[in-house]
């Protein structure tokens, strides 16, 4: 899961991924909690709680099961402990979990439909786990940020303003992050991001355990020879004074001691092309030794501001991927509309269409409800 909050210590590259879920203002009945939040923020402590429920049903499956309901929850926080203007440092964490409802299965409908890329990126099938725990430290007037600990590499690389958060945007895995990058599970890692004072470009580099177990609250090490390494160059221009864009070039390498090695490159871009309209795209090429899909491309649009509803979001996108070694192709499309009920609750109907590796077509309809505080 990728869920971002805007904290003082957040990586500038990660901040671009915020799809607009934001921090919610609690309802009147939660006023004591609101007062607690304000008190904690005075001590540099920020947090966000989230609960997501989802039901999906497929028109065609290879099994008897064609409907699946699931839930997920997360508790994301950051505590700024050092802040003297030029430098700042603090602790961050993410506790999350989720399961299918009324089922003992550990996967979404992808296997039933015959899709290899994933239809529900929110389903982790983990009861409760400390999936991220990190310290971030900034230097040089906060232009240089170093983060280390149990990290999610997709927070620092392959971000996207529209297609990067399965709890509030696109749900299918290839529309959250590229399936053409061998991202490891959350585990021990380090990231360094430099953003010059001009603010129009950045460089981010990281190392991580290539074989971490993301579903366990454990700390592994980087000394076993299983390493994922990545470098991303980013350009963040603004055209015509108001049309913001983000362009990213990622190079990565994955090496396993006694196992396969591989590398690849990936492009990710999003650009505002008009008021409330953002276009995005990704393209990745990688080594078939470490990837299920060695070629991947996706693109689409995000639109806001319908009837003055700036917090609503309409998204439409198509993703394509080639199985490793040219063993077939798969295409997936998704359409959703996130309706913001209030500051804390949103309701999102989804429509997905897939043309699987086996050549079978299916339509999947879904409904997601998310509550945040």
Yes or no: say if 184 and 208 are a contact pair by the CB < 8 Å rule.
yes
pLDDT of residue 270: 97
pLDDT of residue 30: 42
Can you read off the two tokens belonging to residue 145? 């940020």
DSSP 8-state code for residue 208: E
Q: Give the integer Cα–Cα distance in Å for 9 and 148.
A: 13
Q: Give the integer Cα–Cα distance in Å for 110 and 120.
A: 8
Backbone angles phi, psi at 35, to 5 degrees: -65, -35
Closest by CA position to 13, among listed 186, 238, 268: 268
pLDDT of residue 28: 35
What is the β-pairing status of strands 67-83 and 243-255?
A: unpaired
In the chain, where the domains are located: 12-61+70-372
pLDDT of residue 107: 76
Can you read off the two tokens belonging to residue 270? 């999003």
Q: Which residues of 111-142 are buried (b: 16+ CB within 10 A; e: fewer)?
A: ebbbbbbbbbbbbbebeebbbbbbebebeeeb
The number of beta carbons lying within 10 Å of the beta carbon of residue 339 is 15
Q: Is 80 helix (H, G, I), strand (E, B) or coil?
A: strand
Q: What is the pLDDT along the chain (373 residues), one digit of tens a residue?
A: 444 333 334 443 444 444 333 333 333 334 455 677 777 888 889 999 999 999 999 987 777 778 889 999 999 999 999 988 788 999 999 999 998 887 666 678 888 888 888 899 998 777 888 999 999 999 988 899 999 999 999 999 999 999 999 999 999 999 999 999 999 999 999 999 999 877 799 999 999 998 877 655 455 566 566 899 999 999 999 999 899 999 999 999 998 776 788 999 999 999 999 999 999 999 999 999 899 999 999 999 999 987 789 999 999 999 999 998 877 899 999 999 999 999 999 999 999 999 988 778 899 999 999 999 9
Residue 53, classified by CB atoms within 10 Å of its CB into exposed (0-12), middle (13-18) or buried (19+), is: middle
pLDDT of residue 224: 62
**Number of Cα atoms under 13 Å in the Cβ half of residue 266:** 32
pLDDT of residue 223: 58
The CATH number assigned to the domain with range 12-61+70-372 reads 2.40.160.180
Q: Give the integer Cα–Cα distance in Å for 247 and 258.
A: 35
pLDDT of residue 25: 31
Q: Give the integer Cα–Cα distance in Å for 20 and 302.
A: 11
pLDDT of residue 127: 81
Q: Give the integer Cα–Cα distance in Å for 207 and 140.
A: 22
């Amino acid at each position: 899961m990728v869920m971002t909050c805007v904290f003082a210590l957040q990586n500038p590259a990660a901040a671009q991924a915020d799809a607009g879920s934001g921090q919610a203002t609690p309802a009147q009945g939660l006023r004591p909690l609101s007062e607690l939040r304000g008190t904690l923020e005075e001590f540099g402590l920020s947090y966000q709680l989230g609960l997501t429920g989802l039901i999906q049903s497929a028109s065609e499956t290879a099994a008897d099961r064609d409907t699946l309901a699931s839930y997920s929850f997360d508790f994301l926080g950051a505590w700024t402990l050092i802040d003297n203007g030029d430098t700042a440092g603090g602790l961050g964490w993410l506790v999350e979990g989720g399961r299918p409802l009324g089922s003992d299965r550990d996967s979404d409908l992808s296997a039933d439909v015959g899709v290899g890329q994933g239809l529900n990126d929110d389903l982790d099938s983990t009861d409760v786990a400390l999936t991220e725990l990190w310290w971030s430290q900034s230097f040089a007037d906060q232009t240089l940020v170093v983060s280390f600990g149990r990290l999610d590499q997709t927070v620092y690389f392959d971000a996207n303003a529209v297609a990067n958060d399965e709890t509030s945007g696109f749900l299918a895995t290839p529309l959250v992050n590229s399936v053409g990058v061998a991202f490891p599970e959350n585990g021990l890692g380090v990231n360094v991001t430099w953003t010059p004072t001009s603010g129009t470009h950045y460089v981010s580099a990281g190392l991580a355990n290539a074989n971490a177990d993301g579903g366990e609250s454990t700390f592994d090490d980087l000394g076993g020879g299983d390493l994922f390494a990545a470098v991303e160059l980013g350009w963040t221009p603004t055209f015509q004074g108001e049309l913001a864009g983000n362009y990213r070039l990622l190079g990565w390498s994955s090496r396993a001691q006694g196992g396969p090695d591989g590398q690849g490159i990936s492009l990710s871009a999003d650009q505002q092309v008009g008021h409330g309209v953002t276009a995005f795209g990704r393209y990745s090429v990688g080594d078939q030794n470490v990837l299920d899909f060695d070629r991947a491309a996706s693109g689409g649009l995000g639109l806001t501001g319908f009837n003055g509803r700036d917090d609503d979001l309409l998204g439409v996108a198509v993703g394509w991927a080639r199985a490793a070694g040219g063993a077939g192709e798969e295409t997936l499309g998704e359409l959703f509309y996130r309706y913001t009920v209030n500051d804390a609750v949103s309701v999102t109907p989804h429509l997905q269409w897939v043309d699987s590796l086996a050549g079978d077509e299916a339509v999947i309809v879904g409904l997601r409800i998310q509550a945040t505080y």
